[in-house]
Amino acid sequence: MEPFSFQVEARAGRARVGRLFTPHGAVETPLFMPVGTAGSVKGLMPKDLEAIGSQVLLANTYHLLLRPGPERVRALGGLHGFAGWKGPWLTDSGGFQVMSLGHMRRIDEEGVVFQSHLDGRLIKLTPERSIAVQEALGADLIMAFDECPPYPSPREYLEASLERTLRWLERSLKAKTRPDQALFGIAQGGTDPELRRRSTLETIRFDLPGYAIGGLAVGEPKEAMFAMVELSTRLLPEDRPRYLMGVGHPEDLVAAMGLGVDLFDCVYPTRTGRFGSALVPEGRLNLKNARFLEDRRPLEEGCDCYTCQTFSRAYLAHLVRAGEMLGGILLSLHNLRHLHRLTEAARQAIREGRYGDFAREFAGRRFGREVPPWFREALAAGGHW
Amino acid sequence: MEPFSFQVEARAGRARVGRLFTPHGAVETPLFMPVGTAGSVKGLMPKDLEAIGSQVLLANTYHLLLRPGPERVRALGGLHGFAGWKGPWLTDSGGFQVMSLGHMRRIDEEGVVFQSHLDGRLIKLTPERSIAVQEALGADLIMAFDECPPYPSPREYLEASLERTLRWLERSLKAKTRPDQALFGIAQGGTDPELRRRSTLETIRFDLPGYAIGGLAVGEPKEAMFAMVELSTRLLPEDRPRYLMGVGHPEDLVAAMGLGVDLFDCVYPTRTGRFGSALVPEGRLNLKNARFLEDRRPLEEGCDCYTCQTFSRAYLAHLVRAGEMLGGILLSLHNLRHLHRLTEAARQAIREGRYGDFAREFAGRRFGREVPPWFREALAAGGHW
C-alpha cells in the first residue's frame, strides 16, 4: 500500500474536506499546522497539542540544521523519536529562513551560501543538501528547495527565480531516496498572474503528492495574495493537497479554505500569544490593555481549550503584565485551539454544504458590516458568496 | 467541625506522616509546596501540577500586593478563584521579600516601609496590613508578619528583632478576622541556640494551628541550620504542623523530614529547571553540558513524570541550548515531581518504620561514601542513623 494518499471526502463550492494518509497517521484537512521551529512549539508540550487537536507539526530545516544538526536528530530517531510528537511532521526546505533570518551571502544556480545567525559560520544549502537534511530529520512531508523572492521583486528577477526553483525541484526529486517521505513542490511567481500560472503549471508536471503555494503573505496586499491563491487552486490538481505556506490569520484561512486550500502553517498564533494577544471571533484581544484586569470572562465564550475552561481574562492579563511565562503559554494554547476549531467548523460546514453560511457568520463577527472586498471576492470566487 | 486540623498518622523516630485538613482539601505531610510567586508556578499549568502530585501552592504576598493588588484578587474570588488552583494555598507574610527584593527604607516598631521594585513607589507593610492583604488573597494557610534578619546578624540585633517579631505576631493575630484561614507563627532567632529557643517557646505560647521555622537557609552553614532545625522540632508541639521555610534541596528535605518537619517550600526546583538543571538521585544534571547532547536516557530512570516518560536528555539538552522555553518548563516539571516523589517515598518509609534505610539509600546515591557530617548528625538526632 502507498505510504501516502489523499482523498477528497466532501466538497462545497471549491472548498473541500480531505483525508491525508501518512506513515504516522491520517489527518483531516483543511488543517492548520503549528510551527515547532527548533523541534518544539514554543512553550507547549506535545500532550497539550494533542489535546487541542493538532494533527501535524512543522519544523524548520534551517534551525535544526544549525542546531542540533541533522545527524544528531537522525541518530535519535528523527523528529518522531527526538521531539515527543509521534504524529506526522512536515519540514520546510530551509530556503525561506535563509532569506529571512540568515545573512545570505550568495545565491546562484548551485544553491545558497549563508552565514549562520548563531555563530557566523558559512553554510551552503543546495537542493541536494536540503533533501539530505530533511531525510535525516525524517518528517512525513518534506518540501522541495526553493527560493522565496521578497515582495516586491522586479518581474525579471521573479522569472529567473521561478525557473531556477523549477530546476531545484528537479534536483530535489533526484536527490530524494526515502520512500516514506512525500515531497511537495512549491510554486512561486510572486503576484504576477502570468508567472504564477507558469510556475504552477510547470510544478504540477512533476506529478507530486502535494503542492505548496509559496511566496505569498510576504507583504503584498490581500487582494494580490488572494488573486494568486484563486489562480493557484484553479490550476492545481483536485486530487492532491494544497498547502498555503506561512498563512495563519483566521480571515485568511476562511478565504483560502473557500478556494480549496487544505494545509496552513504560521507562527502567528504562538508568537502573538507570547506577545500577550488572544485570537477571538471578533479579532484579537491585547491582554496588556487595562480593561482586562477585572474581566471575569474567559478569553472566548464557548471555547473548549484548557485556558478558556480554567482562567479569566483578568488572570491572563495579570500574567502578561507580570511577565509570567505562563501567560504566553496559555495564550498560545488558546490561539492554536482557536485555529483548530476554525478548521474543524469549516470541515463540518463543507460536509454539510453550507460553507457560505459559515463564511458569512465568520465575517459578521470578525468584520461587522465592513467586510473587506478581498474577503468577499475570494469567497465569491470559491462559490460561497 | 473545625476548618483546620492536623493528625499525625504514623511515626518513625522523630519523623512523622501527617494529614492536614484545610477548607480546600486534606493534604498529606511531609510535603513540598511549589512556589507560585505572582500567582503562577512559572511556566506550569495547574493541571500539570495536579498530575505530578502537588498538594499546596505557595504565593508571595509581596508580589501580589504590588501586582495585581489584593483588592483585585479578592474581587476575582481570591487565589482559588483567580489562579486556577482549587486546592489549598499558602501565602507568606511579605516580610521576607521586603528584605530581599524591595528597597527597604525603614523598619521600626510599626512595620516596614519599602520602595516597590516595580515602580519605586513607597509602600508600608505592617502586621495589620500583611494580614489584611492575606485575607484578601484568601489562602488557607497564612503567615504572621515577621522579620527575617540577614545572616550573619549581631546577637543584639537578632534579639531585638525576635522580640519585635513576637509583638508583630500578637498584632497579626488581633488583625485576623477570617475563620477559614489558619495563621502560622514564625520562630526566628538566627543560628543562636538560646535565641532560637526563646523565640520558639514564646511563639508556641500563642497556641497556633501551625508553626514555621524561619530565618534559616539564608547563607549559614548546614551544621548551624540543622542544629536549629533539631532544636526547633524538639520544642514545637507534636500535634501541630512544622514548616521549614525556603528549604528545597533534596538532601535538606531528607534530613529535616527525619527531624519531624512537615512542610517545605522553595523556588529551587523551578528556578534551577529554568536555568537548565535537573534534579536526580545523584544530585543535579546541568543540561548545558555537551555530554547530554546524544544521551538517549530519560533525566531520571524510573521517574513517572511526563518529561521522563516522553523525552531524552538529548532533546532536553537541545531545548536548553536553543533557548527554547519548553526546556525550562519540562525541567521544572520534572524537578517538582522529583521532590514530590521524594516526600512520597519518605511517607511510605515512615509508615513502614524504615526511615533510616530510606535516608541511607538516599545518601548512598547522593553522596556515595562521603556522607557529610551534618546529614548523618541530623539523621542520628532524628533516631534514624
Residues 289..348 of B with a Cβ closer than 8 Å to A: which?
293-294, 296, 306, 310-312, 314-315, 318-319, 321-322, 324-327, 329-330
A314/B72 touch (CB, cutoff 8 Å), yes or no: yes
Specify which residues A243 forms β-bridges with: A212, A263
Mean pLDDT of B217-243: 98
Q: What is the pLDDT of residue B96?
A: 87
User: Thinking of the domain B5-265, which architecture would CATH place it in?
Assistant: Alpha-Beta Barrel (3.20)
pLDDT at A255: 98
> How large is the average pLDDT for residues B51-72?
97
DSSP string computed for A224-261: HHHHHHHHHHHHS-TTS-EEETT---HHHHHHHHHTT-
Q: Which residues on B lie below 8 Å from A116 (Cβ)?
A: none
Residue B77 DSSP SS3: coil
pLDDT at B99: 79
Where are chain B's structural domains?
5-265, 272-337
pLDDT of the residue at B11:
98
Partner residue opposite A325 with nearest CB, options B75, B322, B325: B325
Q: In this prediction, does ipTM exceed 0.95?
A: yes
Q: Which pLDDT score is estimated for A183?
A: 98
The CB-based long-range contact list for B353-361 (8 Å cut-off, 24+ gap) reads B353/B12, B354/B12, B355/B12, B355/B13, B355/B15, B355/B257, B355/B258, B355/B382, B355/B384, B356/B12, B356/B13, B356/B383, B356/B384, B356/B385, B358/B254, B359/B254, B359/B255, B359/B258, B359/B384, B359/B385, B360/B385
pLDDT at B103 over 80: no
What are the E-state strand segments in chain B?
5-12, 15-22, 25-29, 31-33, 57-59, 89-91, 103-107, 112-115, 122-125, 141-143, 182-187, 211-213, 242-244, 263-265, 277-280, 283-286
B120-152 pLDDT, tens digit per residue, is 999 999 999 999 999 999 999 999 999 999 999
Residues of B in contact with A38 (CB under 8 A): 318-319, 322, 324
Q: Which of B48, B92, B140, B192 is catalytic?
A: B92
Interchain CB contact of B39 with A (< 8 Å)? yes
Q: Which three cell numbers stand for residue A118?
A: 548563531
Q: In the sheet that A122-125 helps form, which strands lie side by side, from edge to edge?
A: A103-107, A112-115, A122-125
Q: What's the confidence (pLDDT) of residue B2?
A: 73
Q: What is the DSSP letter of A300?
A: S
Q: How many CA atoms lie within 13 A of B177 on its CB side?
A: 8
Query: What is the rounded average pLDDT of the residues B84-112?
Result: 90
Q: Looking at the complex, report in whole angstroms how far the Cα of residue A68 sits from the nearest Cα belonging to chain B.
A: 6
> What does each of the 385 residues of chain A score in pLDDT, given as a tens digit?
578 999 999 999 999 999 999 999 999 999 999 999 999 999 999 999 999 999 999 999 999 999 999 999 999 999 999 999 999 999 999 988 887 876 778 999 999 999 998 999 999 999 999 999 999 999 999 999 999 999 999 999 999 999 999 999 999 999 999 999 999 999 999 999 999 999 999 999 999 999 999 999 999 999 999 999 999 999 999 999 999 999 999 999 999 999 999 999 999 999 999 999 999 999 999 999 999 999 999 999 999 999 999 999 999 999 999 999 999 999 999 999 999 999 999 999 999 999 999 999 999 999 999 999 999 999 999 999 9
State the Cα torsion A156-A158-A162-A163 to the nearest 10°. 10
State whether the Cα torsion A49-A275-B68-A324 is positive or negative.
positive
b/e per residue B168-178 (b: at least 16 CB within 10 A) = bbebbeebbee
Candidates A92, A140, A252, A262; catalytic one: A92
What was the pLDDT predicted at A384?
A: 98
Q: Are A46 and A52 in contact (CB under 8 A)?
A: no
B residues 70-129 lying closer than 8 A (beta carbon) to A:
72, 75-76, 82-84
Q: Distance (Å) from the C-alpha of residue B324 to the closest C-alpha of chain A?
A: 6
Q: CA–CA separation, B5 vs B20, rounded Å?
A: 6
Q: What is the mean pLDDT of residues B144-170?
A: 96
Q: Which pLDDT value is given to residue B104?
A: 79
Q: Is the pLDDT of residue B160 over 60?
A: yes
Residue B35 is given by DSSP the state B
B45 and A330 within 8 Å at the Cβ level: the answer is yes
The answer to the question of whether B266 is labelled as a binding residue is: no
Structure-block grid coordinates of residue B13: 523516630
- Mark yes or no for CB contact A40/B324 under 8 Å: yes
- The pLDDT of residue A1: 53
The string of DSSP codes covering A38-73 is TSS-TT--HHHHHHTT---EEE-HHHHHHTT-HHHH
**Which residues neighbour A272 within 8 Å (Cβ) at sequence distance 6 or greater?**
A279, A284, A331, A335
Residue B262 among the catalytic residues: no
Length of chain B: 385
All residues at 6 or more sequence positions from A271 whose CB lies less than 8 Å from its CB, including other chains: none
Name B364's Cβ contacts closer than 8 Å, sequence gap at least 6: none
B115 bridge partner residues: B103, B122
pTM over 0.95: yes
A180 is catalytic: no
What residues of chain B lie within 8 A of the CB of A72, using their CB?
293-294, 314, 318
Contact B39/A320 with Cβ under 8 angstroms? Answer: no
The enclosing H or E element of A283 equals: strand A283-286
Q: In chain A, positions 215-254, which contact chain B (CB-CB < 8 Å)?
A: none
Q: What is the pLDDT of residue B310?
A: 98
Question: What's residue B1's pLDDT?
Answer: 54
